[in-house]
Every structure is written in C-alpha cells, then in structure tokens.
Amino acid sequence: MRVLVTGGAGYIGAHTVQLLAARGDEVVVLDNLGSGKIERIGSTPLVNLNLSTATVEEVEAALREHAIDAVIHFAAHKQVGESVAKPAMYYADNVGSIAKLVMAMENAGVHKLVFSSSAAVYGNASGAITEAAPAEPISPYGATKLIGEQILSAAAQAWALRAASLRYFNVGGAGDAKLADSVALNLIPICLDHIAADTAPVIFGDDYDTPDGTCVRDYVHVVDVAEAHLAVLDALPEEPGNVILNVGTGVGTSVRQMVDALLAVSGSALAADVQLRRAGDPAAIVGDVTAIKEFAGWSARFSVDDIVNSAWQARQPAEAQS
C-alpha cells in the first residue's frame, strides 16, 4: 500500500512509519515538524504541511500526487493540561484537521483511515474498560478525540469510508533510540527527567483503593501500539464503517511499581516523593482488549519491563548503546 501518515515525525507516528517501511509499504509523512523531528523519518518522503491551517485542496493534492491508498492519522495537539488552558485552539485544530482530512480523502477517492484516538474519551471511568463504556471526556483534548470518532462514523454513513478509531492507553518505551519520546508529558519521561536531575520522582496519592495505594494504569509499549495500527489497517472490512477499538495490554501496573522499576533500571538511590492526590485521577483504569484481538488478531507482545528498559536505554548516550 501507499500509506500517508499524518504526524509521522512524532513519537508514535515515527514508530509506525518505520514498521510500514520495513514490511515494504510505500510511506509518505505529512507533518509540519512543529513537535515532530525530521531525523525520526530519515529518507521517507515528507509533505511539510500543517493540517490545521492547510486547505482541503492542499491535502487532496498531496493524496493525489502520491497516489495514496490509506491514511493513518496521528497529527494533533495532545496535552491535556494545555487543552484546558486553550480549549478553542484544540477544538479548532484537532477537529478542523480531521474534518479537512476526511473531506480531502473523499474528494481523492481514498477510502481507508486509521485514526489515533485516546482512552481520554472515557473520562473518569475506572476498572476494566470496554469500548461499550460511556464516552464522557473530561478535557477538551479528550472531547476533540471523541468528535473525531463521530466525524468518521458520520462520514462512513455518507460515503464509502472504511475507518477505525484506536483508543490507546498509556504508551511508553522506545523501539529505537532516535524514535524515543522526548517530551516530558507522561509518567515515564517525567520520571526519567527527575532521575537525570537527581531529584525525587513524584507520586500523586498513595491512599487509593488499590494493592499498593497508588493509581493503576495500563501501560503499553509504543512498538505494540504501532503494530496495532498496521494490524487494524490490514483488517479493515470491505464495507463502510468506523470500528472503535481499545489498544492496551489488559494488565494494570501501579504508579509505584512503574516508578520503582525506573529507579531500579537507572541504578538510582532516589526514593519517590509521595504528594497529595491530583483532582480527577481515577484509582484504576485498564483497557479490555478483547475486541481488537478478535478484529485484527492483535495482542500486545511487550511487558512493563520491556517498556522500562527500552525507555532507559534510549536515554543513554549513543556510544553506550553500541
């Protein structure tokens, strides 16, 4: 296939680009390099375009020029806190981008799309979450992902769009040092930044109703997430529709377990600094991944140890990795 990957120079996008190229697909990246890194995609052709400001005609031209067969859509703002501070920007850019992309695909006759959604659509849900759980996002970021899903479902009723929306949980690790998550927005890179600065990593709350009192989350390796996109793309049915699928491991790991594992792999003698709970943090949330296994035959291959070890190794100087 000829696959266009929007946001393909980003963390998850670049891992997906690498896997597509490795299996022989022709890949084109659409990215304005605002947060993506050109070195992540190597010689992969780049359409330097900002979806949030581009016209439908510009996106359509890129699809036609490269004879695209399918699209994997990652490009979006993705910071929950920033979305609370700048909600209008998130709605304008995230929702506007997918709307223009879908219109351009219809015009260009491109019928296959895999959308990077998020478990943030579940809001304050807790426990083992299936795709049938209420979608009640509590941040503008989560709301824009849900609206993106709704656009795809509506478009699939209007024309022959074959789509899937992947709601993934806590992504971590690295498949390659140059593809590592370099932005400290999630627990793993934040904790590694603390360790590098020789300051105690922070745990928010240790009085939850969980085995060790800290929040429990579903951590999934970034390579598993990238492989999920390929598996779902290959499994898209012939009939139009938008299938909603969780991407996770189905296994919960506590924040303390994750922090302790990162401290251990780094050899640090630091101890976690436990602070008060943050508002809105559910005690435990884990993805039920039965549906994606049945739909695409996909299951996560990597463990939490794999996530921790690969994230730590990717932070080491190049000479230490050889």
Q: How far apart are the C-alpha atoms of 173 and 171, rounded to whole Å?
A: 7
Residue predicted with more confidence, 94 or 281: 94
Please give the model's pTM, rounded to 2 decimal places.
0.94
CB 13 within 8 A of CB 170: no
Residues annotated catalytic, as ranges: 141
Q: Say yes or no to pLDDT of 319 above 50.
A: no
Q: How far is CA 80 from CA 66, 90, 98, 322, in A?
A: 34, 10, 18, 36
Higher-scoring residue by pLDDT: 123, 280: 123
Q: Which residues are 172's β-sheet partners?
A: 221
* pLDDT score for 124: 86
**For residue 268, what pLDDT is reported?**
94
The SS3 of residue 308 is: helix
Look at residue 322 in the predicted model and tell me its pLDDT.
Answer: 46
Q: What is the mean pLDDT of residues 126-141?
A: 94
Alpha carbon separation from 163 to 71, 110, 242, 319 (Å, rounded): 9, 11, 4, 43
Q: How confident is the model at residue 282 (pLDDT cuts 50, 70, 90)?
A: confident
Answer positive or negative: Cα dihedral of 2, 4, 5, 9: positive
| pLDDT score for 321 | 52
Q: Taking residues 296-311, report their average pLDDT.
A: 96
3-state class (DSSP) for residue 247 = strand
- Note whether 165 and 74 are within 8 A (CB): no
Share of the chain above pLDDT 70, in %: 98
Average pLDDT over residues 262-283: 90
What percent of the chain shows pLDDT beyond 90?
Answer: 88
For 278-289, give one letter per residue: b (16+ CB within 10 A) or e.
eeeebbbbbbbb
Alpha-carbon span 151 to 160, nearest angstrom: 13
In this predicted structure, what is the pLDDT of residue 185?
Answer: 74
Domains of the chain: 2-171+219-247 (3.40.50.720), 173-217+250-321 (3.90.25.10)
**pLDDT band (50, 70, 90) for residue 110:** very high
Average pLDDT, the chain: 94
pLDDT at 184: 62
Say whether pLDDT at 318 is over 70: no
12 close to 225: Cβ distance less than 8 angstroms: yes
